[in-house]
Homo-oligomer: A and B are copies of this chain.
Amino acid sequence: MINKPSLIVDKEKCIRNIRKMKAKADKANVLFRPHFKTHQSASIGKWFREEGVEAITVSSISMAKYFADNGWKDISVAFPLNILEMEEINALAERITLNLLVESVGSVRFLKHYLSSNINLYIKIDTGYHRTGIWCENIEEIQNVVDEIKGTEKTEFIGFLTHSGQNYHAKDEEEIRNNHGEVLRIMSELKDYFKKDNPNIISSIGDTPSCSIVEEYYGIDELRPGNFVFYDLDGFIQGRCDDDEVAVTMACPVVAKHDERKEIIIYGGGVHFSKEYIDTGDGNKLYGSIVKFDGEEWTPIIAGGYLASLSQEHGVLKVSEELFKEIEIGELLGIVPVHSCMAVSCISDMFTTKGEKLDLFK
Binding site for B on A (CB under 8 A): 1-4, 37, 59-62, 79-85, 88, 103-104, 106-107, 110, 130-132, 135, 165, 253, 255-258, 260-261, 265, 267, 270-271, 274-276, 311-314, 316, 329-330, 332, 341-342, 345-346, 348, 362
Contacts and interface: CB of A to CB of B under 8 A. Distances in A.
Given A3-B82, A270-B274, A313-B59, A256 B345 contact: no
Given A265-B131, A316-B131, A342-B270, A330 B83 contact: yes
A107 B130 CA distance: 52
Contacts of A79: 255, 267, 313-314
Contact of A255 (B37, B82, B265): B82
A332 B4 CA distance: 37
Identify which of A107, A135, A329 gathers the most chain B CB atoms within 10 Å of its CB.
A329
A198 B354 CA distance: 48
A329 B109 CA distance: 12
A110 B312 contact: no
Contact of A311 (B104, B110, B131, B312): B131
A37 B314 CA distance: 13
B37 A103 contact: no
Nearest to A110: B330
Contacts of A107: 329
Nearest to A272: B345
Contact of A85 (B3, B82, B270, B313): B3
